[in-house]
Structure 1
Amino acid sequence: MSTGREIRLIEEDEGGWSAIDQELNVASQGETREEALANLDEAIELTEEAREADTPAPEPDAPWFEG
């Protein structure tokens, strides 16, 4: 069943895929399209749970976010 979400899939130059749900402002990545979409579903679920619980989303654990 369709959720009506619009998802952008981007094949990265370095390999792998990014999946972005711009309406919810959530993104994820994976080695394959399927993995990127599965990871995005998980990220959306966790984000929605955090928003419902009114708790902050977890801090990104990725080296490109470090200053």
Structure 2
Amino acid sequence: MSTGIEPTITLTEEEDWWVARDTETGVASQGRTKTAALDNLDEALAGYRGEGRTPSDEELREAGIDPERNVSDASLPEELE
């Protein structure tokens, strides 16, 4: 999916890591190589734009979320509103 915008990406080396940053969004990621940093940035930008895949129940559990109690569009409890 093309947005018609040419991204501006910076790559910097910081000790043993390469850091890739999209200057338009401020989203950044890192990797041990330039290629890894850019691949990780692509994944981070997809998540930032809501293009990521839905996590599996196992991934939700690993993140401390109970999939059976995770309800979309549910109202927040009063104490969190």
TM-score category by the smaller chain? Answer: 0.5 to 0.7
Structure 2 residue runs of 5 or longer lacking an equivalent are 52-81
Give aligned-pair identity as a percent.
47
Choose between structure 1 and 2 for higher RCO, CA contacts under 8 A separated by at least 6 residues: 1
Aligned pairs (5 A) from 1:37-52: 37-49=38-50
Structure 1 residue runs of 5 or longer lacking an equivalent are 51-67
In 2: Cα distance, 1:41 partner to 1:4 partner: 14
Q: Which runs of 4+ in 1 moved over 2 A?
A: none
SS at 2:7 equivalent: coil
List per-residue Cα deviations over 1:14-64 (Å, max 9, x = no partner): 2110000010110000000000000000000001008xxxxxxxxxxxxxx
Asked whether 1:6 is paired with 2:8, we answer yes
Match of 1:36 in 2: 37
Q: TM-score, normalised by structure 1?
A: 0.65
RMSD, aligned α-carbons: 2.2
In 1: Cα distance, 2:25 partner to 2:44 partner: 10
Number of residue pairs matched? Answer: 49
